[in-house]
Amino acid sequence: MPAISQKAHSMPASPIRKLVPFAEAAKKRGRTVYHLNIGQPDIETPEVVRQSMKNLDLKVVEYRNSEGIAAYRSGLVSYYASKGIDLGLEHIMVTTGGSEALVFAFMTCFNPGDEVIIPEPFYANYNGFAVMAGVKVVPVMSYIDTGFALPPIAEFEKLITPKTRGILICNPGNPTGYLYSREELDQLRDVVKKHDLFLMADEVYREFAYDGASPCSVMNLAGIEDHAIMIDSVSKRYSMCGARIGALVTRNRAVQAAALKFAQARLSPPTFGQMASLFALDTPASYFDAVVEEYVARRNMLVDGLSRLPGVVCPKPKGAFYCIAQLPIDDSDAFCQWMLESFSHENQTVMMAPATGFYSRPEPGRQQVRLAYVLNRNALEKAVECLGVALQQYQNR
């Protein structure tokens, strides 16, 4: 049998999805499983999208331009302007999800063997994107006792080598929910300018900032116009994860021109997804007001409930819809699997993502899990109750 590639061997499995077989087996045994492992909201996609797609009449589902439908890109220009981000059509390329945007950015800006510094814990798939592009992830540690604030800039500078080509952040953050301040972003701006690096920012959770906070985009950091690359997506904003539409945004003309060649090689983003995203631009502000209010209530329900459990530490996120919780356990992978295989409280259990997969090495996440507060409040309340009972049983087993 021919051998598969070294890259295929190196490609990490998803820590978010790897326990799915155990969850499915639990369901077959009749258990209710509360899925807090994955960022798939139960929030309805905006009605304007659903109705418009229902009435869409395309005689031919044809290829579109590799950089995306012009009408949608024009709509994005207006959307970004409403967020205080001044862009032109030439700065935006539509991609097949934010994932493709980041892969294109890696392949465009980095050579194989180059290094990108990422504060950890970080979105697990960044590891996979780096493997695809042949890039080495260099982590800089953030800590739960600071709420996962940006590590000191001196820690970044210690890691910069001749192979360092960029810094990647997620703001608001997945998996921590941390929202970087303007002061923290200014520090990053200064270091990328000093060392002539790219600053890539995954800003797909922009709409979800809480407690009066307002996110600052890397596109608004003066003096690094040719250094800044923004990754965006409709997946979470409009609860349209399956549309698979994102965007690579930069004012750097060379990056845009080179990324377009990768886009041409994959032909075009999905037509139906782009049409849905175009219609989504007409979503009323009231939709987001209600969604943000709901997420705040869910966050408070989950995080406050977790914090009342003995031995649990869980900082309250300022954005997105995730939190990292530290539990009184010794192995989060074993615990999360045990929850699905062996635990049941009133015929219910909880699926979580072990935090080991959100670090560059598993040790810092051994006692931590990531939870997504994407279910209704009643389900979250029951999930916290389950987890409290489970921790008692696990410690006493």
Model pTM? Answer: 0.96
**pLDDT (mean) for 332-359:** 96
pLDDT digits (tens, 9 = 90+) for 277-301: 999 999 999 999 999 999 999 999 9
**Per-residue confidence (pLDDT) for residue 150, from 0 to 100:** 98
**Per-residue confidence (pLDDT) for residue 384, from 0 to 100:** 98
At 396, the pLDDT band (50, 70, 90 cuts) reads: confident
**Per-residue confidence (pLDDT) for residue 13, from 0 to 100:** 81
**Per-residue confidence (pLDDT) for residue 171, from 0 to 100:** 98
Compute the half-sphere exposure of residue 117: CA atoms within 13 Å on the CB side of its CA.
Answer: 27
pLDDT digits (tens, 9 = 90+) for 130-177: 999 999 999 999 999 999 999 999 999 999 999 999 999 999 999 999
Separation between Cα atoms, residue 312 and residue 364, nearest integer Å: 16
**Per-residue confidence (pLDDT) for residue 15, from 0 to 100:** 73
Select from 24, 236, 5 the least CA-distant residue to 134. Answer: 5
Select from 109, 43, 123, 115 the least CA-distant residue to 373. Answer: 43
Separation between Cα atoms, residue 112 and residue 107, nearest integer Å: 8
Task: Delineate the domains of the chain, giving CATH numbers in brackets.
Answer: 6-44+286-396 (3.90.1150.10), 62-280 (3.40.640.10)
Separation between Cα atoms, residue 38 and residue 337, nearest integer Å: 15
Separation between Cα atoms, residue 35 and residue 17, nearest integer Å: 11
Q: In this model, does residue 12 exceed pLDDT 90?
A: no
Separation between Cα atoms, residue 154 and residue 141, nearest integer Å: 12
pLDDT digits (tens, 9 = 90+) for 60-102: 999 999 999 999 999 999 999 999 999 999 999 999 999 999 9
Which H, E and C letters describe the chain, residue by residue? CCCCCHHHHHCCCCCCCCCHHHHHHHHHCCCEEEECCCCCCCCCCCHHHHHHHHCCCCCCCCCCCCCCCHHHHHHHHHHHHHCCCCCCHHHEEEECHHHHHHHHHHHHHCCCCCEEEEEECCCCHHHHHHHHHCCEEEEEECCHHHCCCCCCHHHHHHHCCCCEEEEEEECCCCCCCCCCCHHHHHHHHHHHHHHCCEEEEECCCCCCECCCCCCCCHHHCCCCCCCEEEEEECCCCCCCHHHCCEEEEECCHHHHHHHHHHHHHCCCCCHHHHHHHHHHCCCCHHHHHHHHHHHHHHHHHHHHHHHCCCCCECCCCCECCEEEEECCCCCHHHHHHHHHHCCCECCEEEECEEHHHHCCCCHHHCCEEEEECCCCHHHHHHHHHHHHHHHHHHHHC
For residue 293, how many other CB atoms are within 10 A of its CB? 11
Q: What are phi and psi of 284, to 5 degrees?
A: -70, 155
Q: In this model, does residue 3 exceed pLDDT 80?
A: yes
Q: In this model, does residue 387 exceed pLDDT 80?
A: yes
**pLDDT (mean) for 346-352:** 97
Separation between Cα atoms, residue 44 and residue 138, nearest integer Å: 38
**pLDDT (mean) for 23-35:** 96
Structure tokens at 303: 């995080």
Tokens 């006692």 belong to which residue? 367
pLDDT digits (tens, 9 = 90+) for 242-290: 999 999 999 999 999 999 999 999 999 999 999 999 999 999 999 999 9
Separation between Cα atoms, residue 17 and residue 336, nearest integer Å: 12
Share of the chain above pLDDT 70, in %: 100
Q: In this model, does residue 388 exceed pLDDT 80?
A: yes
Share of the chain above pLDDT 90, in %: 96
Q: In this model, does residue 191 exceed pLDDT 80?
A: yes
